[in-house]
Structure 1
Amino acid sequence: MQLIANLSLMFTEVPFLERFSAAGRAGFAGVEIQFPYEWSVEEISRAAGELPIVLINVPASDERGGNGRATDGAARAAFAEGVEQAVRYASELGVSKVNVLAGPPPIGQDDATTARVFSDNVSLAAKRFERIGVETMLEVINPFDMPGFWLDSLDKFLRFYAGQGDPRLRLQFDLYHMARTEADLVEAVRRAGDLIGHVQFADNPGRHEPGTGQLDFKAAFAALRAVHYDGAVGAEYRPAGRTEAGLGWMKEAPTWFGRA
């Protein structure tokens, strides 16, 4: 597994374009960015240098992804435009994974319509990303932090995936969100199995760095190794203090990944 940093939440003590070098100095093997679209491809490419950018999100109607376009029947054109923007950024920056956030559906839209709209939009995105060799991720987000988010449990993702029947789709498995929605995190990893296409983490409760909560990272990563996950692992947490001051957990991380 390769440890990467989420630059939307970490190293926020410095301007965005300086966070790439900060992450590299701290020992991260790559980065992910929730919404990079405020900066040009050229600016990001210069700032990143040789540091890989693994994952970005499709644009949402706000920078938290809280008002996602993917489930909004009235926003199909805006969603398609966002996919094309993500295609350009992913292609030019060498991004290997793009996350499609479901977001909450608009008030008054029935669930059958929501499911159909999301299905159509996900299919469109997966088709476009496949053409440039990029994987399509779908993320479960817990309903406590983001009430109304449509894809809010592992069961719901598994039902949607089975109904979609599209092998190009993968689950973005965030240990923090799953710890908040699933009774047994290790069992949730087992159930998701080889559908896991990307992993993120933060401690629970609090969504801060490992060691600030009660999440058993060693057990969670042992479960991920058992289902043969060996991809990028994104530190997507809100530092409790200065980012660098809270990186002591990185000394233990190799043991989570089964290394000495």
Structure 2
Amino acid sequence: MLRFSANLSVLFTEVPLQSRFQAAKEQGFNAVEVQFPYELSANTIHQELAKHQLQLVLFNVAADDLLQGGEGLASVPEKQQQFKQSVTEAVAYAKILKPNAINILPGRCLNKTRLAIYQQTFKENLRYAINAFSPLGIKTVFEAINTVDMPDFIIHSSEQMFAIMQEINHPDLLMQYDIYHMLMMQEAPANFITQYADKIGHIQFADCPGRHQPGTGNMDYQQIFSIIQASPYKGWVGAEYKPLSNTLASLNWFKNQE
């Protein structure tokens, strides 16, 4: 049986973030993830998790202006000190919340002549994050994002992720594999997950196109779920989709797994 986590940054947005923990538990989730939890204190989140018997499995290091169309944080050479400060903030949250993994978003490079130095900076920052999170027993993950939704994203394929994994070669560095993003890049997630499940630290999904709940696009989600279950991957599978209407109406796929 797969273990599904609800991404509270995109699900249950009908209520404020602090109320989403209860909403997720009421719908049968035992684990949650949050893209950027920093609008709430770590202690507040910890209280919600304890109250509703939930596990927080994943959150991201802050990404500066990435979601507003900027280059983000983790690859920009001039922002390395800011990145380190954001890792320090993530460590403070992690000591209280104890996630399985913390995600680093590579970001964009808007000036192609600087791409090589951005890629190098990202790898340096990954190493810094690993050294910060590993002593806490927390994996560092990073993800590829499609260049349709996010043009100029510096990591946008499974091949690029795997190459970085091989270069850094650290047991606490794993891939965050987002099925939606790889489908948008015309990849075959089922094949990749089958072959590289042991290199994946977290899986997320949404249907494609549209990034809505399973059953709204072309993703054969039952097949993909079966392949994940049959693979060596034993982590959580994160529902990170934007409900087509409202969250409760979007959960048929989840109810059908029970």
TM more than 0.5? yes
- Contact kept in structure 1, 2:144 and 2:156, CA below 8 Å: yes
Q: How far, CA to CA, are the matches of 1:238 and 1:91 in structure 2? A: 30
Tell me which residue corresponds to 1:36: 37
Instruction: Establish whether residue 175 from structure 1 lines up as the match of residue 179 from structure 2.
Output: yes
From 49, 54, 57, the equivalent of 1:54 is 57
Matches within 5 A, 1:155-194: 155-194=159-198
Change (3 A) 1:190 1:31: same
Tell me which residue corresponds to 1:9: 10
Instruction: Establish whether residue 120 from structure 1 lines up as the match of residue 124 from structure 2.
Output: yes
Q: CA deviation at 1:106?
A: 4.9
Q: How far, CA to CA, are the matches of 2:48 and 2:171 in structure 1? A: 34
Q: How far, CA to CA, are the matches of 1:130 and 1:201 in structure 2? A: 26
Instruction: Establish whether residue 110 from structure 1 lines up as the match of residue 114 from structure 2.
Output: yes
Q: How far, CA to CA, are the matches of 1:31 and 1:192 in structure 2? A: 24
Tell me which residue corresponds to 2:213: 209
The runs of 5 or more residues in structure 1 that have no matched partner are 255-260
Partner secondary structure for residue 64 of structure 1: helix
Q: How far, CA to CA, are the matches of 1:183 and 1:8 in structure 2? A: 25
Change (3 A) 1:57 1:166: same
Q: CA deviation at 1:108?
A: 5.6
Q: How far, CA to CA, are the matches of 1:111 and 1:171 in structure 2? A: 21
Q: CA deviation at 1:107?
A: 2.7
Partner secondary structure for residue 137 of structure 1: strand
Alignment coverage as a number of residue pairs: 254
Moved more, 225-234 or 20-29: 225-234
Change (3 A) 1:63 1:92: farther
Tell me which residue corresponds to 1:26: 27
Q: Percent identity?
A: 39
Q: How far, CA to CA, are the matches of 1:189 and 1:112 in structure 2? A: 28
Q: CA deviation at 1:126?
A: 0.6
Q: How far, CA to CA, are the matches of 1:158 and 1:92 in structure 2? A: 31
- Compute the RMSD of aligned alpha carbons: 1.6
- Contact kept in structure 2, 1:41 and 1:92, CA below 8 Å: yes
Change (3 A) 1:109 1:46: farther
Q: CA deviation at 1:112?
A: 2.1
- Contact kept in structure 1, 2:33 and 2:56, CA below 8 Å: yes
Amino acid in structure 1 at the alignment position of 2:56: I
Amino acid in structure 2 at the alignment position of 1:57: N
Q: How far, CA to CA, are the matches of 2:171 and 2:155 in structure 1? A: 18
- Contact kept in structure 2, 1:99 and 1:138, CA below 8 Å: yes
Instruction: Establish whether residue 223 from structure 1 lines up as the match of residue 227 from structure 2.
Output: yes
Partner secondary structure for residue 67 of structure 2: coil
Q: How far, CA to CA, are the matches of 2:256 and 2:234 in structure 1? A: 18
Moved more, 244-253 or 127-136: 244-253
Q: CA deviation at 1:125?
A: 0.2
Partner secondary structure for residue 99 of structure 1: strand
Matches within 5 A, 1:64-75: 64=67, 67-75=71-79
Partner secondary structure for residue 157 of structure 1: helix
Q: CA deviation at 1:109?
A: 5.3
Q: How far, CA to CA, are the matches of 1:145 and 1:245 in structure 2? A: 25
Q: TM-score, normalised by structure 2?
A: 0.93
Amino acid in structure 1 at the alignment position of 2:147: P
Partner secondary structure for residue 219 of structure 2: coil
Partner secondary structure for residue 122 of structure 1: helix
Amino acid in structure 2 at the alignment position of 1:145: D
